Amino acid sequence: MKLLSGAFGSWRPHVALSPCIETGRLVLRPLEPADAEAVAAYLGDIEVARWLVRVPHPFTTKDATDFIGQCCTTCDLGTAATLGLVMRGDDRAIVRGIVALHSLDTRPEVGFWLGRPFWGHGLMSEAVDATLTWAYANLDIDAITAGAFKGNVASLAIQTRQGFEVVGMSCRPSLIENRLLDHVDTRLTRARHAARPWRP
Ligand SMILES: CC(C)(COP(=O)(O)OP(=O)(O)OC[C@H]1O[C@@H](n2cnc3c(N)ncnc32)[C@H](O)[C@@H]1OP(=O)(O)O)[C@@H](O)C(=O)NCCC(=O)NCCS
């Protein structure tokens, strides 16, 4: 994995939290206003959105534009890093999913989603692996939390592979279902990340 800091186009939020990370198949880079259409298209898919806590349905281009603006604000505040997944060699640099590190000032948490046409090829495993490696190399944090609504086998498989441990159960709101759902809470410490023998 190659880490490149900073430069991506002319739109550039907080440099420390806007890396450009290259993996074997992907470039992970900060979101830009021009990504709104792609984000809306993939996140507007209920099969993606129903597994996420704060996503309304339908999810419009305006929602995506607002979301990208919020990502820019939290990046500037130093509390979150939100990276879009682009296939290497994609000249149009279309964002196909997102990995985000939230609450970096309090209780760092990672979240992610991928457009449905791209599921099942190990892309998110690759993206999450690179993001966690970047986070522990560049941020002063001791642990990262995650989790998933009960039944989200793919998400929990990715987390287990990375070394996340289940630390409990909670209830979290689903905007789409308009109720609280059972949530599996997980955690990856810096020590477990450093000691991991596993790779995606
Ligand atoms: C979760 C998600 C990001 C996975 O992306 P992906 O690129 O398809 O994941 P990968 O190909 O890296 O697969 C991850 C693991 O899940 C397994 N998996 C994938 N889809 C699965 C399914 N439907 N049922 C069971 N296992 C599945 C894979 O076999 C793999 O397991 P392994 O590492 O033990 O081989 C994608 O399905 C998604 O965006 N879902 C909706 C949003 C979401 O759930 N986000 C996470 C919220 S906590």
State in Å: Cα 147 to ligand 1 middle. 13
Give the residue numbers spanning the domain of 13: 2-142
Shortest-distance atom of ligand 1 to CA 48? 41
- CATH number of the domain residue 72 falls in: 3.40.630.30
Q: Is residue 191 part of a domain?
A: no
Tens of pLDDT, residue by residue over 2-38, are: 333 433 344 444 557 899 999 999 999 999 999 999 9
Short-list 70, 76, 144, CA closest to 107: 144
Q: Is residue 187 part of a domain?
A: no
The count of structural domains within the chain is 1
Q: Is residue 32 part of a domain?
A: yes
Shortest-distance atom of ligand 1 to CA 52? 47
Tens of pLDDT, residue by residue over 87-115, are: 999 999 999 999 999 999 999 999 999 99
Q: Output the pTM of the full model.
A: 0.93
Query: What residues line ligand 1, using a CB cutoff of 6 Å?
Result: 48, 51-52, 112-114, 119-125, 148, 152-155, 157-158, 161
Q: Is residue 46 part of a domain?
A: yes
Which residues, including other chains, have CB under 8 Å from residue 151's CB and lie 6 or more apart? Answer: none
Q: Is residue 42 part of a domain?
A: yes
Q: Is residue 134 part of a domain?
A: yes
E strand or H helix at 2, and its extent? strand 2-5
Q: Is pLDDT of 132 > 80? A: yes
State in Å: Cα 156 to ligand 1 middle. 8
Work out the pLDDT band at 196, boundaries 50, 70, 90: confident
**Three-state DSSP class for residue 185:** strand
